[in-house]
Structure 1
Amino acid sequence: MLIQVVHSHPLQDSYNHALFRTIVDTLARRHQVIATDLDREGFSPVMTEAERRSYYQGPYAEEGVARLVADLRRADGIIFCFPHWWFSMPATIKGYFDRVWAPGTAFVHDLAGARIKPFLTNIRLFGVVTSYGSPWWLTRIVMQDPGRKVLFRALKPMCGPAVRSFYLAHYDMDRSTPMSRQAFLERVRARVAGL
């Protein structure tokens, strides 16, 4: 299986980057891996004028993200690894979805029917490994987990109905301990090793 791991965090010495390295290294034992570190690659989250103008009129102007589009089109699975800040994904990951998960790649517009048709039927695995500064109850109950909703209600459905998925989150990072971080890292390693 070819699995792309898409990561975003500005600090290479962060806990989140350690999660990314754990995912990539663990997957590489049994699968082919495309390790995509958006921050280290200097990815710009800003949609260009050409990209936006072509969004509905097609074909989508994907030249600025052609390699990322090609990786997504050939992957069998995708795992995202990033922190949640202010209960949402960082701008780099949001820009990745805006620019790469575009018409002709992630979906096809049916403007007359006012809907979109999923187009990433090659993706059979959709995973997320993330962290939140807040405790689980604040994220899930009070804020109703807006980032997770976007991932699983808007993006995962672009992969078609048979996609397998998982979501692993380390909550309360602001008060985490070396023990809680290590326990979560081992949980991630075990989940990914079973793929």
Structure 2
Amino acid sequence: MKFVVVYNHPYDGSFCHGILEALKESIQKSGNEIDIIDLDKDNFNPVMSSQDLQAFTKHEMVDEQSKQYVERIKQADHLVFIFPIWWELMPAMTKGFIDKVIFPGSTFNYTKSGYFMDATLDNLKSTTVITTMNTPKPIYSLIYGNAIKKALIKGTLKKSGLKNVKWKSFNMVKNSKPEKRQTWLNQITHLFQ
């Protein structure tokens, strides 16, 4: 099986990077293949240009880097996102990836009614979103409205037709002890074996 990981964190000393390394090791040990799309190292431009927006209405992607990302995802059995939650939302590069890669005519098509979408990524068996944040989980849900669940999980990934979408969130990372972080990394290892 092949995993494509969309990774967004600029600092290699981050806990997100630790998650990426644990995930990579687990996937490779189980004999599977991993392809990492590192948005920061790729210098991905997250800004939707006028040309991108016109292309969106015509369902014809024009951004070459985004086209390459779509081709890589089309080769995957499983898609994984890893990113931190900053100010209760995803970083700009992750948002730009969603805007420029989850694209009509490339990763989904609209149904005849125009109300719904069908994924064209038939190869994908699952999509997993892994996030880190410093906000406690109950506060993120009750006070801040769980923006990732509403906007990304339901409003983008499931809406565009992806199946078996799961979200794993590690909260209060900044104050966590090394033992707790190791427990979390062990969870990632078991999740992807």
Same fold (TM over 0.5): yes
Structure 1 unmatched ranges of 5 or more: none
- Does residue 174 (structure 1) correspond to residue 167 (structure 2)? The answer is no
- Tell me the residue number matched to 1:154: 155
How far is the alpha carbon of 1:178 from its aligned partner? Answer: 1.3
Q: Deviation string for 1:68-96 (max 9, x for gaps)?
A: 11111221110111111111111111101
Structure 2 distance, partners of 1:58, 1:36, is 23
Aligned length: 191
Structure 2 distance, partners of 1:130, 1:83, is 5
Structure 2 distance, partners of 1:63, 1:16, is 27
Structure 1 distance, partners of 2:68, 2:61, is 14
Instruction: Report if the CA contact (8 A) 1:124-1:159 is conserved.
Output: no
Matches within 5 A, 1:5-154: 5-29=5-29, 30-110=31-111, 113-154=114-155
Alpha carbons of structure 1 residues 64 and 7: separation in structure 2 relative to 1, 3 Å: closer
Find runs of 4+ consecutive structure 1 residues off by over 4 angstroms.
Answer: none
Instruction: Report if the CA contact (8 A) 2:70-2:107 is conserved.
Output: no
Matched residue SS, 2:127: strand
Which range moves more in the overlay, 90-99 or 22-31?
Answer: 22-31
Q: Which amino acid aligns with 2:10?
A: P
Q: Deviation string for 1:137-190 (max 9, x for gaps)?
A: 111222221112223212332344xx3343221111232221221111111111
TM-score, normalised with respect to structure 1? 0.89
Report % sequence identity.
24
Instruction: Report if the CA contact (8 A) 2:136-2:171 is conserved.
Output: yes
Alpha carbons of structure 1 residues 169 and 114: separation in structure 2 relative to 1, 3 Å: closer
Matched residue SS, 1:92: helix
Q: Which amino acid aligns with 2:110?
A: H
TM-score, normalised with respect to structure 2? 0.90
Task: Let me know the Cα RMSD of the aligned residues.
Answer: 1.8
Instruction: Report if the CA contact (8 A) 2:60-2:106 is conserved.
Output: no
Matched residue SS, 1:104: coil
Instruction: Report if the CA contact (8 A) 2:59-2:103 is conserved.
Output: no
Structure 1 distance, partners of 2:86, 2:74, is 28
Which range moves more in the overlay, 43-52 or 78-87?
Answer: 43-52
How far is the alpha carbon of 1:44 from its aligned partner? Answer: 1.2
- Tell me the residue number matched to 1:4: 4
